[in-house]
Amino acid sequence: MVVGLLGRGGHEDDFVAYYAAHANQLRNTAYLLCGDWHLAEDLTQTAFTKLYQAWHRIERHDVLDQYTRRVLVRAFLDERRRPWRREHATVPGSADLDAVAPDQGRPDERVVLRTALARLPKRRRAVLVLRFWADLSVEQVADILGCSAGTVKSQTADGLADLRQVLGGALDDLKRPLGGRQ
């Protein structure tokens, strides 16, 4: 394996630098998509493995972030299609469930938001994460997901509506205008 890497010239230095600069952000994006740090690590590794395999063929390094996000989202969507990954929900009250954590006041807003995000359909979740976490344009998200800009817009609107419904009044204080004005 080392001999194969050494034979590629300076490409691996560029790849290693790109990985070092972008791995954490991509892993955070993967976590927002799947809600599981272990799976997020797997998805990130899959994305970078596929990127490395194509690295010597990539001519436009100015669009690497978009390409890498596309690979990540596709890996996320493909992961759920694999039959060996299908999980079955445990019925409430089952002995398989852990004990309920004691209520320690108001939960952290990030936890509430991640939990609500995890309850959304995966395509809408992907659109919301790419639009609002990765701060991509409608056109960039459409390109990554392989759909039209109109589909991204409708998925964004539906996803936000679903998110509001799932959240209920849990994060009402986040609805106030920026700057503390009422």
| CA gap 66, 11 in Å, rounded | 19
Q: Is 26 exposed, middle or buried (0-12, 13-18, 19+ CB in 10 A)?
A: buried
Percent of the chain scoring above 90 in pLDDT: 34
Give the model confidence (pLDDT) of 83-121 as tens digits.
555 555 556 666 555 555 445 445 577 788 888 888 999
Question: In angstroms, what is the C-alpha Rg of the chain?
Answer: 19
Give the model confidence (pLDDT) of 121-157 as tens digits.
989 999 999 998 888 889 999 998 899 999 999 999 9
| CA gap 137, 81 in Å, rounded | 27
